[in-house]
Amino acid sequence: MEHDIVIHSGQIATADFLFDGDIAIKDGRIVAVAETIAGGERRIDAGGRIVMPGGIEAHAHIAQESAAGVMTADDYLSGSISAAFGGNSSFIPFAAQHRGQSIDHVLETYDARAARSVIDYSYHLIVSDPTEEVLRDQLPRAFERGVTSFKVFMTYDLLNLGDAGMLDILTVARAHGAMTMVHCENDAMVKWMNRQLAAQGLVAPKYHAISRPALAEAEAINRAVQLAKLADAPLFVVHVSTPEGAEIVRREKYGGAKLYAETCPQYLALTRNDLDRPGMEGAKFICSPPVRDTETQSALWHHVRMGTFESVSSDHAPYRADDSGKFGAGRDAPYPKIANGMPGIAMRLPYLFSQGVVGGRIRLEDFVALTSTNAARTFGCTKKGRIAPGMDADIAIWNPETRWTATLADQHDNMDYTPFEGMEITGRPEIVMNRGEVVVEHGALKAAEGQGRFFGRAPVDLRARPGVALSEFDPARNFGVGLR
């Protein structure tokens, strides 16, 4: 048989246009896209369905110890299954370096953990200890094996690199064409707020939202962008949670900076009132940066529509509401000692489809771009995120009309709550494929443990953003100094 699978009669959705047609798959790749394709060992009828690139989840914490030593509830098996049920064909979780660890050791550790995945995976490195050897030898070795992005932090004592440390990383990244991802919050502002609140005994979960003001995010985003401009390095601002921060991204991006950004569903769906739920329920909604208010939600939706963000990512950071996660420091721990993060890898696409596409806020093409194609472009996933001959057959078939209510059981993760509990959703993935293998079909898992494979990624396409010319770096105007 010429084709292994033919998906027929569906509406094919790409980031650019929609059309009715068929897709042929052979040996895990898309080999043809046409109005009609005959044959196929298996023919999948996608009548009344939307056929789109499977999601690429570009921000997830899986089998990762936090700097404080708390392990996420999901490993690569449960995390990848949950991702697939949520419409993802691949994901890029973090491989976190803790201080004193070599990058080679970190990647070996995550290779062993990720071997359980049911979908394809890559990693972003988290760099917390940029020693000379890390900068000179270990990061270049990581780039060589296709780990072409990493995250740095501007806050948290065990992670914060400081401005000079960030410049070092940005410089190495620029030299290799790697993407630096950054968590932007002004560390001193957060610590100062924590002291103010603690002095008044205000340590319940709801005060977490107050302790990390929008100003702290905006100041840090602005600083990170200026540092990246100095190094002429590409920068990806993760989990933008404020209009103030998004405005800086918009302005600087259209000013030419090599700048990229994402927001997350929790900043569109939840508010600080969720942190004020009775008892310690609010702890379930503690993440950083924090969820904000309804005005922020509307402003962030505006930025999603206007193209400020490349992606909407889940920032899946699953800590159970028990001693293994949120309450490792005790059931009534003050908010700074409650593990930071919430799950959402299975809800990212359904929430965005329902509120965005069905809700009339974004086009279906935008949905594909925000959930898959832009992540592929930004993070160098050259074989994923598109429906075209030669691409991996990473495909999700959605029923756009299914109505359902989000519950914990739907998540297929290893969590004991979902922050999306009870939300009414329209639209659901029915079949999710990775390299032509069906991973999920009509609510059943079809993939075996370990079916996913590591994929290396290409360097950032530095031509995609012009950068900003600085006169101090122009030998004709800087007294001939050789910089960069």
Contacting positions for ligand DUC (CB under 6 A): 61, 183, 238-239, 288, 315, 317, 340-341
Give the nearest distance from C-beta 182 to ligand DUC in angstroms: 10
Nearer to ligand DUC by Cβ, of 30 and 238: the residue is 238
Nearer to ligand DUC by Cβ, of 271 and 340: the residue is 340
The option from Zn ion, ligand DUC, none interacting with 244 (CB < 5 to 8 A, set by class) reads none
* Residue 288 identity (one-letter amino acid): S
Closest residue to Zn ion, judged by C-beta, is 183
The option from ligand DUC, Zn ion, none interacting with 340 (CB < 5 to 8 A, set by class) reads ligand DUC
Number of chain residues interacting with Zn ion (CB under 5 A): 2
Nearer to ligand DUC by Cβ, of 187 and 281: the residue is 187
H or E element in which residue 165 lies:
helix 162-176
Give the nearest distance from C-beta 217 to ligand DUC in angstroms: 12
The option from Zn ion, ligand DUC, none interacting with 292 (CB < 5 to 8 A, set by class) reads none
Instruction: Tell me which residue of 350, 212, 199, 205 sits closest to 292, measured CA to CA.
Output: 212
Instruction: Tell me which residue of 132, 145, 139 sits closest to 173, measured CA to CA.
Output: 139
Q: What is the CA radius of gyration of the chain?
A: 22
The alpha-helical segments, DSSP class H, found in 233-373 are 243-254, 265-269, 272-275, 294-306, 348-352, 364-368
Give the nearest distance from C-beta 455 to ligand DUC in angstroms: 22
CA–CA dist 20, 13 (Å, integer): 9
Residue 383 near residue 391 (C-beta atoms within 8 A):
yes
Give the nearest distance from C-beta 129 to ligand DUC in angstroms: 18
Nearer to ligand DUC by Cβ, of 329 and 445: the residue is 329
Give the nearest distance from C-beta 201 to ligand DUC in angstroms: 25
H or E element in which residue 437 lies:
strand 437-441
The option from ligand DUC, Zn ion, none interacting with 394 (CB < 5 to 8 A, set by class) reads none
CA–CA dist 374, 458 (Å, integer): 14
Going 301 to 303 to 306 to 307, the CA torsion angle's sign is: negative
Give the other-Cβ count within 10 Å of 325's Cβ. 23
Nearer to ligand DUC by Cβ, of 89 and 288: the residue is 288
Nearer to Zn ion by Cβ, of 94 and 398: the residue is 94
E strand map for 14-162: 18-26, 29-34, 42-45, 50-53, 55-60, 88-96, 120-121, 124-126, 149-153
CA–CA dist 116, 58 (Å, integer): 18
Nearer to Zn ion by Cβ, of 31 and 216: the residue is 216
Nearer to ligand DUC by Cβ, of 170 and 237: the residue is 237
Q: How far apart are the first and last CA of the chain?
A: 56
Is 49 a binder of Zn ion (CB under 5 A)? no
Give the nearest distance from C-beta 157 to Zn ion in angstroms: 15
Instruction: Tell me which residue of 337, 344, 338, 286 sits closest to 318, measured CA to CA.
Output: 344
Among 171-179, 260-268, 314-322, 465-473, which window interacts with Zn ion (CB under 5 A)? 314-322
Give the nearest distance from C-beta 160 to Zn ion in angstroms: 12
Among 162-170, 311-319, 395-403, 412-420, which window interacts with Zn ion (CB under 5 A)? 311-319
CA–CA dist 16, 8 (Å, integer): 20
| Residues in contact with Zn ion, shown as a per-residue x/- string from 407 to 446 under the rule CB under 5 A | ----------------------------------------
The option from Zn ion, ligand DUC, none interacting with 22 (CB < 5 to 8 A, set by class) reads none
Exposure string over 377-416, b if 16+ CB within 10 A, otherwise e = bbbbbebbbbbeeebbbbbbbbbbeeeeebeeebbbbbbb
Nearer to ligand DUC by Cβ, of 62 and 139: the residue is 62
Nearer to ligand DUC by Cβ, of 183 and 412: the residue is 183
Distances (CA, A) of 69 to 63, 259, 286: 12, 32, 17
Residue 179 near residue 173 (C-beta atoms within 8 A):
yes
CA–CA dist 482, 158 (Å, integer): 35
Among 315, 392, 410, 413, binds Zn ion (CB under 5 A): 315
The option from Zn ion, ligand DUC, none interacting with 393 (CB < 5 to 8 A, set by class) reads none
Among 133-141, 181-189, 198-206, 258-266, which window interacts with Zn ion (CB under 5 A)? 181-189
Is 183 a binder of Zn ion (CB under 5 A)? yes
Give the nearest distance from C-beta 289 to ligand DUC in angstroms: 8
Binding interface with Zn ion (CB under 5 A): 183, 315
